Homo-oligomer: A and B are copies of this chain.
Amino acid sequence: MLALTINRIRSMSEENPPVQPVCQPVAAPARRVGSRRRSAARLVWLAWALCGLLPAHAEDGYDLWLRYRPLEAPWAERYRNSVRELVAAPPGTGDAAQTELMRAMVGLLGTTPPISLQVTQDGAIVFGTPRSSVSIARLKLDLTGLGSEGYALQSVMLDGHRATAIAANADAGVIHGVFHLLRLLQTHQPVEHLSLRSSPRVQRRVLDHWDNLDGTVERGYAGASMWDWHKLPGYLAPRYLDYARACASIGINGTVINNVNADALALTPMYLEKIAALAGVFRPYGLKVYVSARFSAPMDIGGLQTADPLDPAVRLWWRQKVDEIYRHIPDFGGLLIKANSEGQPGPQDYGRSHADGANMFATALAPHGGIVMWRAFVYSNNPLEDRTKQAYREFVPLDGQFGKNVLLQVKNGALDFQPREPAHPLFGAMPKTPLMLELQITKEYLGFATHLAYLGPLFQETLDFDTYAQGAGSTVAKVIDGSLHGHSQTGMAGVSNIGTDRNWTGSHFDQANWYAFGRLAWDPGLPARGIAEEWVRMTFSNDARFVDPVIAMMMGSREAVVDYMTPLGLAHLMARGHHYGPGAWQNGGARADWTPPYYHRADAQGIGFDRGAGGSNAVSQYAPPLAAMFNDPERTPEKYLLWFHHLPWDHRMPSGATLWDELAMHYTRGWEYVRQMRKTWADLAPFVDAERYAQVAAFLGIQEKEARWWRDAMLTYFQSISQRPLAPGLTPPEHTLEEYQAMSFPYAPGNPGWTAAPFRR
């Protein structure tokens, strides 16, 4: 650690690496200040100018994209002219906005602008709602259509002075506007002539935390659960506040606090008190709390003999429970329910439908304005029916039967968060029901925290997927933002990748996936590349010599994972349970559809799952133009080829290669991409602080090793079936199939049935 410090001191005085946070002398900000304030300001200025020389706060990733490190000289100088004073809202409203602005000004510009009651000079920042701020009210900006969360950023004249207005209809909009302005500063955008309006295209933008009450996180790769249940409500960790800030900064407005594999105890008074304490921290940032409810709670904690959703006692119990929740948390968002799925209890236990179940909750929540998020991730253990077809079959007949405040939460694909899947056939197929998109931010199937895989392109691929539900252009984005079928209830959920790790997400680059989810939930039309650029600039550097190669690296990184794990439409080849590493050969066990061979169906003839008309006919669940395309191997996009078709090993691919050779090429290409990322990163060392550089470099080392492991193991295994040689020139696998099969990782993190095995056995 000291070595770094010393190096840093040296580099500051001798040769300065371009992106090391460079401190620039700044003009003292104050005009209307007395001599005492002026001298304090000068001290701030001096200290700020020299801060880079000190053993300062290490760049350990905790600050996320809200680092607020000193901006480079021309920009800092320029921005300082636009933030000469803050025109305060009255105390109590907009406190969060003002605090964030001040924090950013101190960090980015080394200035503490005076807080005034009205605009007194050029370069004022005016923020608030027409009710909270007299100045905003006097501007009479048109805020119609912005709702309660949108905002306007407008360069204005007020009392003869230039000012920047951040105006909204409600405090939540103000805080979003503040973060937008700060993003402009952090990414070197001009702010002198602003005329921006923004409001979210999706109403409920929530993070689903698969956090258990015992502190573990299902599919979590970033340490333990952030929620320190044992110390709540007595102790509110600073991290809770910083979590709310981070969420607000990217537009996330909801958080489902506990695992969808829910524990009914979360609904007991003891836990409601704890959850209410968290809600209190989140509230100023426009972040609402939701809870996952266990369907059998009336039995688990209510003393009832049934959880039948049509039983009056059960319905009464839930109504009273929901009322109790709202007594604790008046702005509670609603309930998320996983029912009749993977062993969870549900309405079908009583011969009732998913609609019966969801509507029971909807009735209880409606008086309070709460919603039900009902998960569509259901499948029975019937290996004769293609698992990807089952949710469609169960839910499409229920279209129109759900209460108004029910959103059906559908995973991006019909299987389970694979590196690549075609979009779920339910999108577009239930016009009377608002569908909520569920994405997985945590990389359960994409290499956990150590693999660099930017998910922006994956999310965008889903959102841009054309369902043809109302003809061409019926994208998933239009389904979930409500525009295709005219829904006003809309939502997008991301399964969180956040834990107690110092950098929140287990790796620095996984922060980008949290970021991308939030930005896309706000506006599903944003390009993944643009989001990556924002994130890189805020999180690391604005230096083009860093920004450009890192964006390029990120943009191809998810395709690399597809290549080295499951190319050409293959899926679910991961090892059983924890999903760490390859396990394509794993057979047997409790469920056929929890084994890889169920999905790849490799045999002496070929490989792939025949979902065409002659196979499972899953293609028929898509709109006719898609169904026709997916039914034809020649027209099926190569990336989905083996998802829909079982093809001979010698099938001729568009490249001219056989399927077998093409497969080997993809596996090899994925591994090579990671090797290239390592090289790229190594060249970027001068632009990154030492601690973050080292972690990323170490993780890329792990990823390269594991990418090769994936490639070698998969080729070795499939070769044992295809009986074909590897194309000349390809690196032969390191180990034998038996060696790959012998590998075992009982403690790979994130297991759902995580146990302290040593004591138990």
Contact = CB atoms under 8 A, between A and B. Distances in A.
Interface of A: 1-3, 5-6, 9, 12-13, 36, 39-40, 43-44, 46-48, 50-51, 53-58, 60, 68, 99-100, 102-103, 106-107, 112, 212-216, 218, 221, 223-224, 229-231, 234-236, 238, 241-242, 259, 261-263, 265, 294, 448-450, 500-502, 691, 695, 698-699, 701-702, 705, 746-749, 752-760
Given A50-B43, A55-B106, A753 B759 contact: yes
A723 B213 CA distance: 39
A514 to B, nearest CB: 19
Contacts of A221: 230
Per assembly, the copies of the chain total 2
State the 4 A-B residue pairs at the shortest beta-carbon distance, nearest first.
Answer: A47-B50, A2-B103, A57-B57, A13-B40
B46 A46 contact: yes
Contacts of A57: 56-58
A224 B747 contact: no
A60 B13 CA distance: 30
Contact of A103 (B1, B12, B58, B68): B1
Contact of A234 (B53, B501, B705, B753): B705
Contact of A218 (B46, B223, B756): B756
A102 B753 CA distance: 47
A262 B691 CA distance: 33
A691 B502 CA distance: 17
B43 A102 contact: no
A291 to B, nearest CB: 13
Given A747-B229, A755-B754, A755-B755, A235 B702 contact: yes
Contacts of A40: 9, 12-13
Contacts of A702: 231, 234-235
A112 B50 contact: no
25 contacts: A1-B242, A2-B100, A2-B102, A12-B40, A12-B43, A13-B40, A51-B54, A55-B106, A57-B57, A212-B756, A214-B755, A215-B749, A216-B756, A221-B230, A224-B224, A230-B448, A231-B449, A231-B699, A234-B450, A234-B698, A234-B701, A263-B758, A753-B756, A753-B759, A753-B760
A701 B232 CA distance: 12
Contacts of A46: 46, 50
Contacts of A759: 212, 218, 261, 752-753
A1 B47 CA distance: 19
